[in-house]
Amino acid sequence: MADVSEVPSARERAIVRNRWLLLTPALAILIFAASGPLLITLTYSFLTPGDYGGVEWKFSTDAWFNVILQRDIFDDTLMFADAHLSILWRSVKLSLMTTIGAIILGFPTAYFIATRPKAHRDFWMLLIIIPFWTNLLIRTFAVMELIRNEGTLNTLLMAVGIIDDPIQILYTETAIMIGMLYVYLPLMVLPLYASMERLDFSLVEAGYDLYATRFAVLRRIILPLVKPGLIAGSILVFVPSLGAYVTPRVMGGGKQLMLGNLIELQFGQGRNWPLGAALSITLLAIVMVALIFYVRAAGKEEVPHG
C-alpha cells in the first residue's frame, strides 16, 4: 500500500510549481549570459579556426594541442610551446607572489582591526571595504600614475636626489604584482577579519599563562584558529589574480602578458578562436581545482568557536 505521506498534497505541489516559477527569470538570464556561453566556448575549443576570426565547423583537437605544445615549422617535431608555458608560469608565479604579499600585509591589518574596540571596528572595515567596491580600473590607474617613470614616486625620488634616472617599474612583472596586490588586498583582509573577530582572546591569555612567548602565541594559537579565514583569503586573492586581465594589461603594458591577455590575443590579433577557447577553459579548470581544494580544506579546518 502506498504510504500516505509520500504522496505530495496539492498544496505541496503548488509550492514546488511556484518555486520554479520564481526561479525562472534568474535562471534564464544566467543560462543565457553565463552558463550557456561557457558550453559554447567548450564546443569552440574543438573546432578549426576561421581565416578572419571565428571558426569553421570542422572538428579538431589542434587548439587543445596548441595550449602547451607546438610543431616545429621546419621539421615538424613536437616541442613545448615556450611562449605559452612562460605566460602560464608567469601567471601562476605572479598570482602566488601576490597571495603571499597579501598575507604579509593583510594578516597584520586584519589583526589590527579585530583588536580595535568594538565600536571602532566597523570604521576600519569600511576603510577596507571602500576600495574593494570601487572601480578596479581606476585603482590600477592610480598605482600606475604613481610608479610611472614620470610618476610621483620617481619624481619625488629624483627631486630628493636618491636617484638620478627614473627607476623603470612600470611594464615589468613587479609592476603587475604591485598592481594586483594593491587591487586584491581587501579580498585577503575581509575573510581574515571575519575569522579573527570571532577569536576568543581568553585562549590567547591561556597561552601566555602557559609560558608562551608572543611569537609562540601567534604561531601556535592564533594562526591555527584563523586558518579557515587565511585559506579563504588566499583563494579569494589567488583566483582573480590568475584570471586577471585589466591589471596586467595596464601595468604590463602589453609586454608582460598573463593568461588573461594571452586569451584576449587569440580573439584580437591572434585570430585563433579555438585556441582562445581552449586557453580559457584551461584557466577555468585551474580555478575550479583551486576552488575545490578550498572547499575541501575549509570543510576540514572548520574550527568550532564559542
Partner 1 sequence: MIEIRNVSKAYGAGKSRFLALDDVSVTIRENEFFTLLGPSGCGKTTLLRTIAGFVDPTDGSVSMNGEDLLKLPPHSRPVNTVFQSYALFPHLTVRQNIAFGLEMLGKPKAEITRTVDDMMALVQMTAMADRQTGQISGGQQQRVALARALAPKPKVLLLDEPLSALDFKLRKDMQIELKRLQTETGITFVFVTHDQEEALTMSDRVAVMKAGSIRQIGSPRDIYDRPAERFVADFIGDTNFIPVEVSQIAGTVAQIKLPSGKMIEARAVEGATGGASTLAVRPEHATLGIAQDALMAGTLKNIVYFGTDTHYHVDLDGADSFVVRAQNTPGNKLDFSVGDAVGITFPPQVGQVLRD
Partner 2 sequence: MAKAFDVRKQWGFTTIAIICFVTLYLPVILLVIYSFNAGSSVAIWEGVSLRWYRSAWENTQVQEATIRSLVIALWASGISTSAAVLAALATTRVRPFKGYSAVFAAINQPLMVPEIVTAVALLIFFAGIKVQTGYTGLAYIIIAHAAFCIPFAYLPIRARLTGMDLSLEQAAADLYATPFQVFRRITLPQLWPGILAGAMLAFVISLDDVVITEFVKSAGQDTLPTYMLGQLRRNITPEVNAISTVLLGISVTMVIAFFFVSRIKK
Assess 77 for contact with partner 1 (CB under 8 A): no
Nearer to partner 1, 4 or 160 (CB): 4
Spatial contact of 90 and 258, defined as CB atoms under 8 Å apart:
yes
Beta carbon of residue 21, minimum distance to partner 1 (angstroms, whole number): 18
Distance CA 63, CA 182 (A): 34
Residue 14's identity, in one-letter code, is: A
- Among 67-75, 82-90, 103-111, 225-233, the segment contacting partner 2 (CB under 8 A): 103-111
Nearer to partner 2, 32 or 80 (CB): 32
Spatial contact of 103 and 192, defined as CB atoms under 8 Å apart:
no
Subset of residues 5 to 44 that bind partner 1, contact rule: CB under 8 A: 5-6, 9, 11-12
Beta carbon of residue 11, minimum distance to partner 1 (angstroms, whole number): 6
Residue 16's CB is within 10 A of a number of other CB atoms, namely: 10
Determine which residue in the list 4, 33, 160, 162 makes contact with partner 1, applying CB under 8 A.
4
Spatial contact of 224 and 117, defined as CB atoms under 8 Å apart:
no
Distance CA 224, CA 187 (A): 20
Beta carbon of residue 24, minimum distance to partner 2 (angstroms, whole number): 8
168 binds, among partner 2, partner 1, none (CB under 5 to 8 A by kind): none
Nearer to partner 2, 184 or 228 (CB): 184
Distance CA 112, CA 290 (A): 28
Subset of residues 201 to 260 that bind partner 2, contact rule: CB under 8 A: 201, 204-205, 208, 214, 218, 239-240, 242-243, 245-246, 249-250, 259-260
Beta carbon of residue 148, minimum distance to partner 2 (angstroms, whole number): 7
Q: Among the residues of the chain, which ranges form H helices?
A: 10-30, 36-44, 62-68, 82-114, 118-133, 136-147, 152-160, 173-197, 201-209, 214-217, 223-225, 227-242, 246-252, 259-267, 273-301
Assess 65 for contact with partner 2 (CB under 8 A): no
Subset of residues 179 to 198 that bind partner 2, contact rule: CB under 8 A: 182, 185-186
Subset of residues 112 to 171 that bind partner 1, contact rule: CB under 8 A: none
Which triple of cell numbers denotes residue 30? 544566467
Distance CA 57, CA 244 (A): 30
193 binds, among partner 1, partner 2, none (CB under 5 to 8 A by kind): none
Nearer to partner 1, 4 or 33 (CB): 4
Distance CA 28, CA 181 (A): 36
106 binds, among partner 1, partner 2, none (CB under 5 to 8 A by kind): partner 2
Residues of this chain that interact with partner 1 (CB under 8 A) are 3-6, 9, 11-12
